[in-house]
Amino acid sequence: MTGDDLRARRANSFGAHAAAYAEHRPDYPADAVRWALAPLGPGSHEVLDLAAGTGKLTGGLLAEGHHVTAVEPDEDMLSELVRHHGAVRALPGTAERIPLPDGTVDAVVVGQAFHWFDPARAMPEIARVLRSGGVLAALWNDYDNAAPWVDEFLKVARSSVSAQDDLAFDPMTEHELFTDPEKRTFPHVHRRTAESLVAMVNTHSHVLVIPEEERAGLNARMLAFLKARPETADGEFDLPLTVFVKRLRRV
């Protein structure tokens, strides 16, 4: 299997596990969502949640009072989003082919998905649906490995395809139709148990695509590590996260 084949397989691996994704993946902190859309000013805005998945970012946008359209290519993920956010306009579509008219949204936001896009095709398409001066913002939840136990856990939690992740971070390239690139990080936490943290890791593509035998071994190692650490052995704990946000403005 080539690197491109593996990447495509990973990109399409989430739908069969949509319910687990909705249950175990973290949301996004309100201050990160507010900062992403701050250039638009106060008030309610028309926001496209692109590659919206099961609606982890959709919920935060709704809580801030925005009018949200969710676009997601995977039918199972979109169904899960509708189950949680039934009032949202939810449409099938991709970043490379967005099912909206020209210049109809104030912002396009992308949670945990921009690295799956083809930027050469997605950037002009995103620009097409944005109004002039609109915002494109991408957000990623990542582990905060400043805590020693988290740093050690990340080493235990690697699968045979994890090396591909090292090439994927911050793929939101600048484009002639966008300006004013800005970046910021925000602290976040996700309440977990040892078992639910293992379940969360199992919603990541680097685990979804590996053989069942490897997955079973990986899960056993992760659980043994977490049960041996005083920070994570018993009951609930806060998993420290860092939310990375990058935003651009439509020319």
- Looking at mean pLDDT, say which of 157-161, 173-177, 199-203 comes out highest: 199-203
For strands 67-72 and 89-92, give the pairing: parallel
Average pLDDT over residues 152-173: 72
Q: Which of the pair, 197 or 10, is modelled with greater confidence?
A: 197
Q: How confident is the model at residue 167 (pLDDT cuts 50, 70, 90)?
A: very low
Q: How much is the pLDDT for 181?
A: 94
- Give CA separation, 203 vs 25, 97, 206, in Å: 8, 26, 9
C-alpha 42/C-alpha 233 separation (Å) is 44
- Residue 222: how many CB atoms within 10 A of its CB? 20
Strand (E) or helix (H) holding 19: helix 18-24
Bridge-partner residues for 11, per DSSP? none
Please, what sign has the CA dihedral across residues 203, 206, 210, 215?
negative
Average pLDDT over residues 148-171: 76
Q: How much is the pLDDT for 39?
A: 97
Residue 170 predicted with pLDDT over 70? no
Q: Show the CA angle centred on residue 49, arms to residues 44 and 53, nearest 5°.
A: 140
Average pLDDT over residues 135-161: 93
Give the least confident one: 23-32, 109-118, 155-164: 155-164
- Residue 144: how many CB atoms within 10 A of its CB? 17
Tokens of 47: 């926001």
Q: How much is the pLDDT for 16?
A: 61
User: The sheet that has 178-192: what strands, in order across it?
Assistant: 89-92, 67-72, 46-50, 105-111, 130-143, 237-250, 178-192
Q: How confident is the model at residue 5 (pLDDT cuts 50, 70, 90)?
A: low
Instruction: Name the class of domain 3-143+165-191+240-250.
Output: alpha beta
Q: Decide if 120 contacts 148 (C-beta within 8 A).
A: no
Give domain limits for the chain. 3-143+165-191+240-250
Q: How confident is the model at residue 158 (pLDDT cuts 50, 70, 90)?
A: confident
